[in-house]
A = this chain, B = another copy of it.
Amino acid sequence: MSKRNKISLSVIRRLPKYYRFLNHLISQDINRISSSKLSEITGLTAPQIRQDLNCFGGFGQQGYGYNVAELKNQVASIIGINKSISAILIGIGNIGKTILTHLQFESMGFKINGVFDNDSLKIGANIAGFQIMDVNYLLDFCSINNPTVAIICLPMSVVGDIVKKLVNNGVRCFWNFSHYDISVEHSNTIVENVHLQDSLLTLCYRVNNQEN
């Protein structure tokens, strides 16, 4: 895997935002954009945008701005969308099922190679082209296939145990939809969390404490 100079997580987290806005500009047939216009539509400052993109080599031209398609391709390449990271998904409840059927993983650098649940009524069934496997087969599957990422859509009662087993079997990258904080228990992991309840409770606080 390629290595870059240490880039801060806040810069990294803005890359998908640039990618999203650049795709939107392309869908509007906009070929060229200044950093000040890009600032206007993204809500980031123009110096911030230039500084972010300079972390990866620049791409803009003085007096011209950015070529939208080129910049989009550069950002895609920086993120690694052209790669195919092997992933498994564990837990086919509401959230797991929605993620599996709703997101286009292959256009975002991932390939789902296995889907697991512990419910005998679900095991063997087919969802979005994936045959659900018994979670008892998970570790054997990992030994054979070495998935890089596990997408965790499990309830709190079982998540700690399964994540521990995965880490012990070499999985250290997680997309986590559970309430469990993987990186607290397992420091040598890469985790992106989607804590829906945390997000909603943050909104609750902010609505109840509006400034104006």
Interface residues of A (CB under 8 A from B): 1-4, 6-7, 12-13, 15-17, 19-20, 24, 41-43, 78-81, 83, 85, 93-95, 97-99, 101-103, 105, 108-110, 148-149, 156, 173, 175, 179, 181, 183-184, 188, 190, 192-212
- A30 CA / B98 CA spacing, docked (Å): 35
- A55 CA / B201 CA spacing, docked (Å): 18
Closest to A4 in B: B209
Is A94 a contact of B85 with CB atoms below 8 Å?
no
List, in ascending order, chain B residues with CB within 8 A of A203's CB. 149, 173, 175, 190, 192
List, in ascending order, chain B residues with CB within 8 A of A198's CB. 13, 16-17, 20
**Assembly of this chain: how many copies?**
2
The 4 closest A-B pairs by CB, nearest first: A80-B208, A16-B201, A43-B184, A16-B198
14 A–B contact pairs at CB < 8 A? A2-B208, A6-B211, A16-B202, A24-B179, A41-B184, A80-B204, A93-B102, A95-B98, A99-B196, A110-B204, A149-B203, A190-B207, A190-B210, A192-B203
Tell me how far the C-beta of A122 lies from the nearest C-beta in chain B, rounded to whole angstroms.
Answer: 16
Is A94 a contact of B83 with CB atoms below 8 Å?
no
Helix, strand, loop or mixed for chain A's interface? helix
- A148 CA / B108 CA spacing, docked (Å): 34
Is B208 a contact of A192 with CB atoms below 8 Å?
no
CB within 8 A of A202: which of B13, B24, B188, B206? Answer: B13
